[in-house]
Amino acid sequence: MDSNATFAILLLLTGIGILVAEVFIPSGGLLGIVTFVSLVMSVVFAYRAWGTTHPNYFIAFCGAILVLVPTALGTAFYILPKTSMGKKILLEGPDAEHLTPFAAGARHLQELIGQYGQTVSPLTPGGLVVVNGERLHAISEGIIIDAEKSVEVIEVHGTRLLVRPAERPAVNAGTSTEPPSRLDFEIPQG
């Protein structure tokens, strides 16, 4: 093996080594530039060694570069989070509860679908309603609903209830269908 082939292989291995080091050592791109120069010089020496006499070796060498560079980068980025330095510089991904903040509140609002309440303020189309003694933000279906009117929760849109005018159904014959007045609800302080 002639010296050009030796230099080509050594420069390839050096370039791959520096490329992996670039992942672990922040250098502002300086090591990336050294890697690029090393790999280009490796191709130059490979061409001198095999380009005219053994073109298949040269093509195989170039193919090896195309396979080794992404493989080395992928392996380095796979190993990085497992190192102590990688654990310090990389943030841990959020768990499912943090991806959906206010999940408990959203579940609570979903439980109110089908419940009846009363408007505290006019819904034009947004305002306040009281459902099960709790003051909540609500929107109507695009119509104005006056204050102290009975409404039914039909959907949840984010943190707001979608309501429509509806009378509370009678449970048995002796029960009044009138919703309690606004003064019968406790308004939470806070």
Q: For the segment 110-146, what is each residue's pLDDT rounded down to a tens digit?
A: 999 999 999 999 999 899 999 999 999 999 988 999 9
Here the tokens at position 163 are: 């309501």
Question: In the listed set 62, 89, 116, which residue is the last one of a domain according to the structure?
Answer: 89
Q: What is the helix (H) or strand (E) element at residue 13, kind and residue range?
A: helix 3-24
**Considering the domain boundaries, does residue 156 fall inside one?**
yes
The predicted structure's pLDDT at residue 35: 94
CB contact set of 168 (below 8 Å; sequence gap of 6+)? 116, 150, 177, 179
The predicted structure's pLDDT at residue 92: 78
pLDDT band at 94 (very low <50, low <70, confident <90, very high): confident
Query: Is it the case that residue 20 has pLDDT exceeding 90?
Result: yes
Model confidence pTM above 0.85:
no
Are both 112 and 180 inside the same structural domain? yes
Q: Structural domain of residue 154, as residue ranges?
A: 98-168+176-184
Here the tokens at position 157 are: 């849109």
- Cβ count near 104 (within 10 Å): 10
